[in-house]
A and B are shown apart, each in its own frame.
Chain A
Amino acid sequence: MSGARPDLPRWADIGLIPLVNVLLAFIVAGLVVVVIGESPLEAVQVMLSGALGSGEGLGYTLYYATNFIFTGLAVAIAFHAGLFNIGGEGQAYIGGLGVGLLLLGLDHSLSWPVLLPLAVIAALLFGAAWAFIPAWLQAYRGSHIVITTIMFNFLASSLMVYLLVNVLNEHGATSPESRNIAEAAQLPFVTDILGGFGIKMAHTPLNLSILIAVLACVFVWIYVWHTPWGYELRTVGQSERAAVYAGVRPRRVILVTLCISGALAGLVGVNEIMGVQHRLLLNFNAGYGFTGIAVALMGRNHPLGVVLAAILFGILTQGGAELSFEMPNIDRNMVTVIQGLVILFSGALAHLSRPWLEALFALLSRRRPSLKEA
């Protein structure tokens, strides 16, 4: 959100600074590992081999990445309009509710190829609906989106506990879960699809939703950079007042953008409920909304960056689980620490390294005056 700063070459601004920021985050995370008395390099090795070294690890990594892509895109598209949606958590939860309700209603009459588009629509609608009220309040009543989406995260959580304890749980069962959906309505696992072609792979939760994640990335890329609506969205993000002079109605843009953002977060529900859990349960959204913030910041709000950052956080989540087996001293919540550090260094402290890099580049260009522009 900084203006043009000519002191650094463009490639350094786009490529080097984010890289340095992420590096700083990982150095501090490494220090935490040192405090615990383990070797950070060994830890990285364990994580990488745990996340990428086997078909199973890879499957889990990509399954986590699927969720992170959805919530990362949700945060990223809102950022482009200058809005901060920290309600991804709640929107994902309610998106899952939409998918769950649809499947619980229709799973005995339809099979998954028919249900998939319906489930996607349900997830989009429910996620968007949960973002709609905060969006409307931001656009028309001037209440701050950050506060209202925080409140809506808690409201979503209360609503889900109520529904699963009192309404949707199986009769006679005490656990707050719905019944399992019929097998014909479950999204096929990638393992099973590959198995059909004779490729054997360990069973992992990775399912067809990853294709939806790819489509979502393409959608965001086209919408934000190649449509008039995307142009309006970015204009509002740059300057609401300028947008008004350009004939854009910022209120409508805010409303639409946040609803799209909520809809994208809602897609987590397809992956979790239709793809993996096969029933409605509590806290299937755990933490994905907040990871989305780290993913968006690290991916610089571009779909390609979001995919890369989502895969990185997939590696961290899966590798972190492996790590806690190999090095029992390191709890798997280390991933949360890394997320926090990435958000801190890529977000709040994004300009920490800039003065030093600027000095460095100034030094380099002084040595080679031919490169220095007048």
Chain B
Amino acid sequence: MEPELLLRTLAAALRLSTPLILCAMAGLLSERSGIVDIGLEGKMLAAAFAAAAIAAVTGSAWLALLCGIVIATLMALLHGYACITQRGNQVVSGVAINLLASGLTVVLGSYWFQQGGQTPMLTNLGRFRPLELPGVNLLNGVPILGAIYRDLISGYSLIVYIALLAVPATHWLVNRTRFGLRLRAVGEYPQAVDTAGVSVAWLRYRAVLLCGLLTGIAGTYVSIAQNAGFSRDMTAGQGFIALAAMIFGKWRPYPALGACLLFGLLDAVAIRLQGVRIAGIGEVPVQLIQALPYALTVLLLAGFIGKAVAPKASGIPYVKER
């Protein structure tokens, strides 16, 4: 492969990984606190719609981001209320949130914009545009490094950099802070946390809120940075791939990042290979590459590649002893 093409494929992989990274960190924080979240997809979709709608009306990308975050956080709170306060089934709640988002975005979208569930195409005004990092021109003359800096390090929208920062931030929060220690404890053995006088519910609510924040950013990225508007079900299962990546990373931030990048790369390669014949193999079925993240996750869960152990208390509502 030519170096130019390689760089561009890698850059495309990072762009495709961005929503996965944000959602994987969101899911990680939620699940480490003991709240299973299969509603990542729905929250991301709702945020994508809210952001695109606000951007179309106001033309402000920042306001759009704010609204995306608010909507995703509200849905996260609904999930939290059902799972923490009402002690409902967390998977059922997640399914409900996915369906609600899928339906409401289209119902409200087609009423407000009369375009069959799409939002109006955005001009550059209401979008997060690729940034050019300082020094691109300076390094342009330098062989190899200049091209790498220009094509691989510079030139993404702000949210891509936020996503990359979210990983060390999550790692720090979960593994290096008092909040993180309690978060991990509440996901493994909530009784202990309760005995120590720390509120299980409040800890879990904070985790769920963080999850809403990150899925909100992810959704905003999908509709107003990656694309220029919202179309129905545009997140297309990425929330579930992020869930797979989180499991693939065994509920730890850096390995989850690795899985997201791998899945993003697979996606980028699949797009690149569409209809291309490779000598000796013939046409590689794109569907095979697209199915790999799911197949790999199943294999991992089956214990054939390492062992993935979920937080012990995840999925179990906490009932305080009386």
Q: Are B86 and A133 in contact (CB under 8 A)?
A: no
Stretch at the interface among B165-173, B221-229, B289-297: B289-297
Partner of B301, one of A36, A147, A158, A329: A147
| A277 contacts partner chain B, Cβ-Cβ < 8 Å | no
**Minimum C-beta distance from A154 to chain B (A):** 5
Given the contacts A162-B288, A348-B86, A146 and B100 also touching, CB distance less than 8 Å? no
Q: Are A340 and B99 in contact (CB under 8 A)?
A: yes
Q: How far is the CA of A150 from the CA of B240 in the complex (A)?
A: 8
Q: How far is the CA of A159 from the CA of B292 in the complex (A)?
A: 11
Q: Are B86 and A351 in contact (CB under 8 A)?
A: yes
Residues of A within 8 Å of B297, CB to CB, are 147, 151
Q: Which residue of B lies closest to A154 (CB)?
A: B294
Q: How far is the CA of A133 from the CA of B297 in the complex (A)?
A: 13
Q: How far is the CA of A341 from the CA of B95 in the complex (A)?
A: 10
Residues of A within 8 Å of B232, CB to CB, are 333
Q: Chain A interface (Cβ within 8 Å of chain B)?
A: 1, 32, 35-36, 84, 86, 133, 137, 141-144, 146-148, 150-152, 154-155, 158-159, 161-162, 165-166, 290, 293-294, 297, 329-331, 333-341, 343-344, 347-352
Q: How far is the CA of A35 from the CA of B108 in the complex (A)?
A: 9
The 8 A CB mask of B71-105 against A (1 = contact, 0 = none) is: 00000001000110011111111011111111110
Partner of A166, one of B87, B97, B98, B285: B285
Q: Are B89 and A336 in contact (CB under 8 A)?
A: no
Partner of B91, one of A142, A146, A158, A351: A146
| B298 contacts partner chain A, Cβ-Cβ < 8 Å | yes
| B192 contacts partner chain A, Cβ-Cβ < 8 Å | no
Residues of A within 8 Å of B290, CB to CB, are 158
Q: Are A143 and B95 in contact (CB under 8 A)?
A: no
Q: Are A330 and B301 in contact (CB under 8 A)?
A: no
**Minimum C-beta distance from A76 to chain B (A):** 13
Q: Which residue of B lies closest to A1 (CB)?
A: B89
Q: Are B92 and A297 in contact (CB under 8 A)?
A: yes
Q: Chain B interface (Cβ within 8 Å of chain A)?
A: 36, 38, 78, 82-83, 86-93, 95-104, 106-108, 110-111, 117, 232, 237, 240, 243-244, 247, 285, 287-288, 290-291, 294-295, 297-298, 301-303, 308, 310
Residues of B within 8 Å of A347, CB to CB, are 88-89, 92-93, 95-96
Given the contacts A329-B111, A339-B103, A348 and B291 also touching, CB distance less than 8 Å? no
Q: How far is the CA of A336 from the CA of B169 in the complex (A)?
A: 36
Q: How far is the CA of A294 from the CA of B95 in the complex (A)?
A: 10
Q: Are A293 and B95 in contact (CB under 8 A)?
A: yes
Partner of A333, one of B91, B102, B302, B303: B102
Q: How far is the CA of A335 from the CA of B103 in the complex (A)?
A: 7
Q: Are B237 and A154 in contact (CB under 8 A)?
A: yes
**Minimum C-beta distance from A162 to chain B (A):** 4
Given the contacts A147-B301, A148-B301, A159 and B96 also touching, CB distance less than 8 Å? no
- Pairs of residues from A and B, 8 with the lowest C-beta to C-beta distance, nearest first: A336-B103, A340-B99, A348-B93, A348-B88, A340-B100, A143-B301, A337-B103, A347-B92
**Minimum C-beta distance from B48 to chain A (A):** 16
Q: Are A343 and B301 in contact (CB under 8 A)?
A: no
Q: Are A344 and B82 in contact (CB under 8 A)?
A: yes
Q: Are B303 and A143 in contact (CB under 8 A)?
A: yes
**Minimum C-beta distance from A262 to chain B (A):** 15
Partner of B96, one of A333, A340, A351: A340
Q: Are B111 and A333 in contact (CB under 8 A)?
A: no
Partner of A32, one of B91, B107, B117: B107
Given the contacts A337-B107, A340-B100, A350-B88, A158 and B291 also touching, CB distance less than 8 Å? yes
Q: Which residue of A lies closest to B292 (CB)?
A: A158
Q: How far is the CA of A333 from the CA of B99 in the complex (A)?
A: 10
Q: Are B97 and A340 in contact (CB under 8 A)?
A: yes
